[in-house]
A and B are shown apart, each in its own frame.
Chain A
Amino acid sequence: MRPRWLKVFSDLTDNWLRTALVVFSIAVGVISIGVISGAYVIISNDMSASYAANHPMNVELRLSTQFDKNLVDTIRNMRGVAQSEGRNIFAIRARVAGTTQWTSLDLVGIENFKKVQINLLKPISGQSSADKKQLLLEKKAFTTLNAPVGSTLEFELSDGTIKTLPVVGIVQDQTTGAGDFLAPPFAYISTDTLTYLGQKDGFNRLYATLSAGNNDEEQLRQMAANIKDKVEKSNLIVSRSRISKTNEHPMASTVQAILGILLALGILILFLSSSLIANTLNALLNQHLRYIGVMKLIGGRQNQIIAMYITLILAFGVIALLISVPVGGQGAYALAAFIADKLNFGLLGFRIVPLAFIIQIVIGMAVPLLAGLVPVLNGSRITVLRAISGETARESGSGPAADLRRETAWERFSTGLAHELSHRGFHIPRPLLISLRNTFRRRGRLMLTLFTLTMGGAIFIAVFNVRVTLFDYIDAIGRYFQADVTVTFDRPYRLEKVNLSGMKYPGVTQVEGWAFADAAVLFPDKTVADNLVIMAPPVDSKLVEPILTAGRWLQAGDEKAITVSESILDAFPALQPGQILRLKINGKEDDWKVVGIFKFVGQQGTIAYGTYGYISRYTNLVDQSISYRVVSSGGHDAASQQKLAEGLDKYFRDQGFHVTEARSGKSTLATASESLDILVTFLLVMAMLTASVGSMGLAGTMGMNVLERTREIGIMRSIGAVDLEIMRTVIVEGVVIGLISWFLGMLLSFPFTYLLSTIVNLAVFNSPVDVHFTWVGYLIWLAVVLVLSALASVLPARNAASLTIREVLAYE
């Protein structure tokens, strides 16, 4: 190998720490981009592909009344309909035999598992179909109940009877309940088992797929309206209808929005890592200026020097890619698998995403090249005289043969200030003065370090603020679930009866019956725009504290009036309080006035509130309800609420009530906020990555600063400075840089918090929410920069201090 390339190779291998720093700086940016872009592509493709592969329904109708096979056949024979199937879906409580903890399940009755063509089930273990008195568990239900194949589940019927079914298989259902975080876990039985569980024969849910246009929203809505009409002509009541594209998972846009945010953060990390690379390469070139001078002296031309260092940079890039491409590929799939598991969809298998692979290669080569170009060009331009005479470290004084440099404004200011202060009796200790002056000696490096650390810190702090904003928002959403327990019965009971009975339970201070109605919001052409669940508390209820964004809350005397959650704006972007929505409730169409719009967590369908007085009349359930909110004087934490729920469940059953479910307020909130937990976890991972890049920047800078000052340290020791003094000088310098960056990061975190919060909230909630700040991020980041800056300074300083004065002074 030619000596110049040997030199390049030796530059690569001589200083492992430096090589590791540069390689890691490149790799961290490439990995984050590789992971996110790979996951983005995998999820974009697999989420909808695996959803489509399971033949999802295009139209779903929920009926309040049972229907039979004839209707299913009639719908199948409609023009434009490819397939139609019926299901019988009902809620029931289940527990593993021998345990006490009840879990609410939605049991799906399927007539013939072998002939299912819509919402296919993917077998995971055991049987893929259930015969009479057998049960299949959906993956989520299997996880919740921890009931493997072979175990037995007990079901509690509304009359209190306990029935058992053996679990014969675990399946994955990617379609039923897709996009609905509030959907309970599913289990599957044959319709032959319905009567065994006290259910009527027949179906209550109709699925249909279209023969054409099943990805065209307009056509889907039109066909849904046609099918609905057909069903209603059979004197059946459609309580809810929903359309879904075949090739698009209902959560696709939300997940892609979240991945988009992560990608933006990934790009920011890449940006930070490039400034770190620039800093390290700058230092490397600075250390090599003497060699560059020698090479120019013995005949090396500028382009040869540039070629050598560009090759070195590309070698750094190649090593980084060798690490980051496999890690990025695995990470992308792991991230995609994590999201897929959370959202219950399947992946098509591990693969390297060509686009992500190419992006990583381009970034891994281009970013260090761009970051290193300026240092390399500057380094290659150095004159031989400057390089040889030791004038390279400009701050270390002028060489005897060089043009004497001028005193900088900063030097004039700092020396003038020190002079002025000492004149006035303020004596800054010399070591401290040296530290402060050293801090600003390499201003280019300082600026890059400050930039990296400041940006890293600002993002780190902002992520904590966004996290607390999200949590505060979840807490605010909790105000919609203020009751300790919601008890749901399988039939309406008179308010007075439940109230009297409930208030006798120890600790119960309030029992409040709410009315409910399922409504379809109609477009002017009568197609369904959205589905509403209208909850109707008493008008003076204290159990709902809404976050209103427009209009007002419900008042006594409001009739045909609702407040509606913001997700209605998807279908009616210009909707304002005072405007009218056409609702269809129990087959009856009417105009309802929207009096207010409130915030809520996005979920399948939209939530609305009406007044109990009017809705109970409208649904012919005056002074009755199937759902009661219970408040107790005991603890309101999750454990106390759960205990109360279990107690009330038993109590009401013992009193002869037919209880479907007693659910604690906190668990409802936890389900509603599950999606946010994923986002917060991702954001924290990104914060850690930015923190690690920023920390490496500081560690690298301090390491380089101290290394370059080895000779100076030797001189200080030769004139009497003890090791402690030297260490203190260096540590103070690191801490000063850390503190400046923390202060700047703190300032920058405010706009970052607003920006990130707005983007995240727009993606998740479709509207911005109030931003909240927490001191946690600020304090953690302060601790991180202080500890890191001290550590990053101490290690190289200790190395320098351990050399003998002769060794240090001879240091080149």
Chain B
Amino acid sequence: MISTPNSVSSNIPSLPIVELRDVVKIYKSDAGEFTALRGINAQIFPCEFLGVIGKSGAGKSTFLNMITGVDTLTQGDVLVRTEGKEVSIHQLSENDLASWRGRNLGVVFQSFQLLPMLTLLQNVILPIDLCGKYSPRASRARAMELLDLVEIADHANKLPAYISGGQQQRVAIARALANDPPILVADEPTGSLDSVTADHIFDVFEHLVERGKTIIMVTHDTGLQPRFSRHLLIADGEIVIPPDSTGAVSAPAAQAR
């Protein structure tokens, strides 16, 4: 079953679940330096469905990578508050980070990233197996429950190659939820899907937010903006939308105001 936080509120709680402080990311190459993120400050609160919108090369995927910890930052800090603890994720070792991520952060990609040699059910059990959060018997039941949640349980014993892209993305979502993480991060999850299938994926996300998950989703499609509970617009490594009514975001534009 999907757990629900005890105190879910439609209003902004006192502490953000994810907080980016002056995050700078600079890539170096023979051609010189390239600044992908320029001093990003952002706060994301529990049970938000946050959209990060920007054009290709704007820095939105880098923004997401800073939150998942799969890329290192050049400057600043990223704090995540889960399990009653505050963790500065970039202080963790690669190994500790993997373990922490497995329990606290589910990640969904545009290209699904399912392991092709495992069935859908086994793909969903894999994170549980790696993190050891549930017993082997319980993990199977949980995986089936998750597949049922994303309406793909009928295909549980198929290999990824034998289902459609939309179905694979549902499995990827189920896998991201396997260890019941409070945060779900999705990088263009509907990017390779047709509009009807993409719509279904959004339905799943909205359902998850209703059940207490925090979802941060990156997209280049400005048309999706209405479906988020809040959104950030990124361009040239900076957040260009002023903070909304919640005041959750502080960005150069807002600071300048």
Using a CB–CB cutoff of 8 Å, the interface residues on chain A facing chain B are: 2-4, 6-7, 10-11, 14, 290-291, 294-304, 381, 383-385, 388, 398, 400-407, 812
Query: B62 within 8 Å of A by Cβ?
Result: yes
Contacts of A403 in B (CB 8 A): 27-29
Contacts of A303 in B (CB 8 A): 95
10 residue pairs bridging A and B, Cβ less than 8 Å apart = A296-B98, A297-B98, A298-B126, A299-B127, A299-B130, A299-B179, A383-B71, A401-B71, A402-B27, A404-B30
Which residues of chain B from 4 to 59 have any CB-CB distance to chain A below 8 Å in the complex? 27-31, 34, 36, 57
User: Do B94 and A304 touch (CB < 8 A)?
Assistant: no
Contacts of B125 in A (CB 8 A): 2-3
Instruction: Identify the closest chain B residue to A403 (Cβ).
Output: B27
In whole angstroms, how far apart are the Cα atoms of A403 and B74 in the complex? 11
- If A298-B107, A298-B175, A388-B70 touch, whether A4 touches B29 (CB-CB below 8 Å) is no
Query: B236 within 8 Å of A by Cβ?
Result: no
Contacts of A381 in B (CB 8 A): 94
User: Do B70 and A384 touch (CB < 8 A)?
Assistant: yes
Which residues of chain B from 55 to 70 have any CB-CB distance to chain A below 8 Å in the complex? 57, 61-62, 65, 68, 70
User: Do B99 and A299 touch (CB < 8 A)?
Assistant: yes
User: Do B99 and A388 touch (CB < 8 A)?
Assistant: no
Contacts of A14 in B (CB 8 A): 117
User: Do B130 and A295 touch (CB < 8 A)?
Assistant: yes
B59-87 near A? 1/0 per residue, CB < 8 Å? 00110010010110000000000000000
Q: How far in angstroms is the closest Cβ of chain A from B131?
A: 4
User: Do A299 and B102 touch (CB < 8 A)?
Assistant: yes
Q: How far in angstroms is the closest Cβ of chain A from B171?
A: 12
Q: How far in angstroms is the closest Cβ of chain A from B243?
A: 27
Chain B, interface size category, equals: 35 or more
- If A299-B102, A385-B71 touch, whether A6 touches B95 (CB-CB below 8 Å) is no
Instruction: Identify the closest chain B residue to A302 (Cβ).
Output: B95
Query: B205 within 8 Å of A by Cβ?
Result: no
User: Do A302 and B175 touch (CB < 8 A)?
Assistant: no
In whole angstroms, how far apart are the Cα atoms of A301 and B117 in the complex? 20
In whole angstroms, how far apart are the Cα atoms of A290 and B115 in the complex? 9
User: Do A404 and B27 touch (CB < 8 A)?
Assistant: yes
In whole angstroms, how far apart are the Cα atoms of A6 and B122 in the complex? 8
Q: How far in angstroms is the closest Cβ of chain B from A573?
A: 64
- From the candidates A6, A297, A404, A406, name the one contacting B107 in the complex (CB within 8 A): A297
Contacts of A407 in B (CB 8 A): 30
User: Do B61 and A3 touch (CB < 8 A)?
Assistant: no
- From the candidates B61, B118, B122, name the one contacting A401 in the complex (CB within 8 A): B61
- From the candidates B113, B116, B131, name the one contacting A299 in the complex (CB within 8 A): B131
In whole angstroms, how far apart are the Cα atoms of A295 and B126 in the complex? 8
User: Do B61 and A7 touch (CB < 8 A)?
Assistant: no
- If A299-B99, A302-B95, A383-B94 touch, whether A294 touches B115 (CB-CB below 8 Å) is yes
Q: How far in angstroms is the closest Cβ of chain B from A209?
A: 70
Contacts of A299 in B (CB 8 A): 98-99, 101-103, 127, 130-131, 179
User: Do A812 and B98 touch (CB < 8 A)?
Assistant: no
Contacts of A11 in B (CB 8 A): 117
Contacts of B176 in A (CB 8 A): 298
Query: B145 within 8 Å of A by Cβ?
Result: no
Contacts of B234 in A (CB 8 A): none
User: Do B30 and A4 touch (CB < 8 A)?
Assistant: no
* Leading 9 A-B pairs by shortest Cβ distance: A299-B102, A404-B29, A10-B117, A298-B127, A384-B70, A3-B122, A3-B126, A299-B131, A300-B130
Contacts of A404 in B (CB 8 A): 27-31, 34
In whole angstroms, how far apart are the Cα atoms of A405 and B30 in the complex? 8
In whole angstroms, how far apart are the Cα atoms of A404 and B70 in the complex? 16
Q: How far in angstroms is the closest Cβ of chain B from A799?
A: 18
Contacts of B36 in A (CB 8 A): 401
User: Do A298 and B29 touch (CB < 8 A)?
Assistant: no
- From the candidates B57, B116, B178, name the one contacting A298 in the complex (CB within 8 A): B178
Query: B123 within 8 Å of A by Cβ?
Result: yes
- If A295-B130, A298-B127 touch, whether A401 touches B117 (CB-CB below 8 Å) is no
Q: How far in angstroms is the closest Cβ of chain A from B198?
A: 20
User: Do A385 and B129 touch (CB < 8 A)?
Assistant: no
User: Do B117 and A7 touch (CB < 8 A)?
Assistant: yes
In whole angstroms, how far apart are the Cα atoms of A14 and B117 in the complex? 8
Q: How far in angstroms is the closest Cβ of chain A from B184?
A: 12
User: Do A297 and B101 touch (CB < 8 A)?
Assistant: yes
- If A2-B129, A297-B70, A401-B61 touch, whether A406 touches B115 (CB-CB below 8 Å) is no
Q: How far in angstroms is the closest Cβ of chain A from B186?
A: 13
User: Do B98 and A4 touch (CB < 8 A)?
Assistant: no
Which residues of chain B from 182 to 241 have any CB-CB distance to chain A below 8 Å in the complex? none
Instruction: Identify the closest chain B residue to A6 (Cβ).
Output: B122
User: Do B115 and A291 touch (CB < 8 A)?
Assistant: yes
Q: How far in angstroms is the closest Cβ of chain B from A400?
A: 7
Instruction: Identify the closest chain B residue to A407 (Cβ).
Output: B30
User: Do B95 and A406 touch (CB < 8 A)?
Assistant: no
Instruction: Identify the closest chain A residue to B103 (Cβ).
Output: A299
Contacts of B107 in A (CB 8 A): 297-298
B162-183 near A? 1/0 per residue, CB < 8 Å? 0000000000000110110000
Counting chain A CB atoms within 10 Å of each CB, the highest count among B34, B61, B71, B179 belongs to B71
15 A-B pairs besides A7-B115, A404-B31, A405-B29 with CB distance below 8 A are A2-B125, A3-B126, A6-B118, A6-B122, A7-B122, A10-B117, A295-B130, A298-B127, A299-B102, A301-B95, A301-B98, A383-B70, A388-B113, A400-B57, A404-B34
Instruction: Identify the closest chain B residue to A8 (Cβ).
Output: B117
Instruction: Identify the closest chain B residue to A15 (Cβ).
Output: B117
User: Do A7 and B118 touch (CB < 8 A)?
Assistant: yes
Contacts of B130 in A (CB 8 A): 4, 295, 298-301, 304
Q: How far in angstroms is the closest Cβ of chain A from B26?
A: 9
- If A7-B118, A304-B130 touch, whether A400 touches B68 (CB-CB below 8 Å) is no
Instruction: Identify the closest chain A residue to B62 (Cβ).
Output: A401
Counting chain B CB atoms within 10 Å of each CB, the highest count among A7, A298, A385 belongs to A298
User: Do B113 and A4 touch (CB < 8 A)?
Assistant: no
In whole angstroms, how far apart are the Cα atoms of A7 and B116 in the complex? 9
- From the candidates B71, B113, B117, B122, name the one contacting A290 in the complex (CB within 8 A): B113
Instruction: Identify the closest chain B residue to A406 (Cβ).
Output: B30
Q: How far in angstroms is the closest Cβ of chain B from A382?
A: 10
Instruction: Identify the closest chain A residue to B159 (Cβ).
Output: A10
Q: How far in angstroms is the closest Cβ of chain B from A390?
A: 9
